Amino acid sequence: MKRAVLYGVLVAFAAAAVLIGCAPLQSEKSSITRLLVESGYTDDAQAGNYGANDTTLEQPDSTSSIVCCQRIPFVRFRRYIPARGVERMVDVRIPADSGGPDSTALATITWTITGELRTCFDTTTNPICVWRKPFTDVATRKVYLEKYDDRWHIVKLSPLVSATQDPAYHLNITNIHAVSSLSHDTFDLSSADTLLTKEELPWFEPGDTVDVTVTVQSDDDSCWVFLHHGRAGAPRVWREPYLKRSTWRFERKWLVGMEAYERPDVRPSIHDAIGWGTLWADSSQPYVAAAWGIPYIVRMPADTTPGDE
């Protein structure tokens, strides 16, 4: 009997030790999760920004000097995302690598975005047809963090990569290339698995004009690419179509000057490829889309890079 009692006490102590050991780890993970929600580099708005407007013009802005490109045919569309249409999961691993220090962490953020694409590309009918296509897109981003000064800091992050769940055919972005007209800095990204430091993210001065090229790949029909940029909140986010240089290459001039508010600031951009049949065919054709989301910084050369929050 004494032996059984002693065994029970030892088991209880072992269980308590496990719970005590888990508590600090769970607290660290909770701190990281809060930081990722609050930070302009990783907040939820970056995943849902491509859904809530219909501001695409039939023709790109008149300031574009790119020639010999196809302009977008007429289409009006929006992704309707209901109030609970964005689900977010965060998986935090401490340490970031097996056997590494507990002052490092790797977080994987996954957004599942469910809604309905609504398009109108033919205004000759009466009543005008609006085609509706339900969709589920899944977006992921990895974030590497380190703890110092008694708090966690975002050190590196990958692009937010969005793709249609179980698509009817393959469509993805393979390269984003951007050149600033003021600083002549070049940003070039060819892998969605790349972890970028804050200093490696694209940054532009107020009033900058940026030449952007997006290359896509697909094993089906062509597509069109759109640029979503601005602020996560008010005053607004813009959606602008690229010009089509070739079947899989799209270009445009990005005018940062229209974003004349406080700086330095971190803002979300999404480069959004949508299948041709998704935009310009009726509801019998499937929804297929893919996007890369990349935070960018608006600042002057003497400004400091915005912090984690």
The token pair at 303 is 């400004």
Coil, helix or strand at residue 256: helix
Range of 12-16, 31-35, 55-59, 256-260 with top mean pLDDT: 31-35
DSSP assignment, residue 35?
A: H
Q: State the Cα–Cα distance between residues 25 and 169, nearest whole angstrom.
A: 42
Looking at per-residue pLDDT, the higher value among 62 and 119 belongs to: 119
Residue by residue, DSSP assigns 158-194 as PPEEEEESS-SS-EEEEEEEEEETTT--EEEE--TT-
Phi-psi region of 99 (alpha: psi -120 to 50; beta: other; left: phi over 0): left
Q: Where are the beta strands (DSSP E) in the chain?
A: 76-80, 86-93, 104-120, 131-148, 151-157, 160-164, 171-180, 186-189, 196-197, 203-204, 209-218, 223-230, 237-241, 243-246, 249-255, 265-275, 289-298
Does position 68 have pLDDT exceeding 80, yes or no? no
Mean pLDDT confidence for 286-307: 92
- Give the pLDDT confidence of 178-233 residue by residue, as tens digits: 999 998 889 999 999 999 999 999 999 888 999 999 999 999 889 999 998 876 55
Asked whether the beta carbons of 217 and 190 are under 8 A apart, the reply is no
Mean pLDDT confidence for 254-259: 73
Mean pLDDT confidence for 156-181: 96
* Residue extents of the structural domains in the chain: 23-298
Residue 263: which pLDDT band, with cuts at 50, 70 and 90?
confident
- Give the pLDDT confidence of 108-155 residue by residue, as tens digits: 999 999 999 999 998 898 899 999 999 999 999 999 999 999 999 999
